[in-house]
Structure 1
Amino acid sequence: MFVEISELMSDRDMITLVLAKVNGKVSVSVMPTKKGLKDEAKNNLSPILITGTPEELDQQFISIIKQPLQKATGLLTNMDKFEKSMEVAQANSKAASEAKKKVDAERKAFTDKMKKVDTLYTEKKYPEAALLLKEVSEMPGADKKQCENLKNKINIELNSNSLFAE
């Protein structure tokens, strides 16, 4: 009997059997549970209740509980899988959120520094703008194309005062 019952169980399944004898008959309450399951819906399961003579239970116990027990343990297993998938989804959501915050912070730092470069360029402080632009272009989150375009504009201005300008 226990071999047959254990074959109906999966990992972390528990089955509570409670036996009571009244007037020569035995009543057996079979209650499946899953260790670690948090879902409160598990508390709504009713035990499987079977009553019969000891001889009847010896002969038919497994065949009577097999289908209801499979359904109940399957439901508990589905709840468990759902809880685990929710934990994974929640962890991934936090990771994605943290990654987005990091990218946003990098982008903001780049944008703020780039405004300073633009200000230096507007004020015709080309050497300072070029120096700061070099630093800005190496920042995480830097827009390489935007940096390259501004670098070209600054270089044009720097070379326009050169004796060797083309």
Structure 2
Amino acid sequence: MPLFPPDRIKTDASDGAGNPCGPYRALLLSDTGGLTQFGAFIEILPPGSRSSIKHWHTAEDEMVYMLEGEVLLHEGDRATPMRPGDTATFRAGDPVGHCLENAGEAEARYLVIGTRSPADSVTYPDHDRVLHLDRRGGARRWTDHAGQPAQSPYLPETD
């Protein structure tokens, strides 16, 4: 059984520059162990940041377990506080966009676990965007809801 002490865990981070969601850090638990069937990571969200733009997956389940701090869970038009011990689950194909927002004054930490389907479409309902993923070949393609090529909503608008 591979054991990975904290100093060997792969990480990801953004300082927030050019990212509409703000800065974040992530401890990539499943990637560190080379797992391919599901993803698991701990995201650390500073005050004022969001986990993502509101989205939903056609082929992947997601689950969030709150570890420290507090966030707002945005689902459709609702915002619900999540505190340590709370769990939120998002079934594949449920067309309700979701994301987390740290509206508090302290850092928040939560565990995210989700399936890794060979192919998935991620819909961003508030931005008229769909991300088409093919993990078998590594393809990532953005379209609008009508299927026309489009820019990622995470990039600044261009003229």
Taking structure 1 as the reference length, the TM-score comes to 0.21
Would you tell me which structure has more strand in proportion to its own residues? 2
Q: Which has the higher contact order (CA 8 A, sep 6+)?
A: 2
Would you tell me which structure has more helix in proportion to its own residues? 1
Task: Give the greater-gyration-radius structure (CA).
Answer: 1
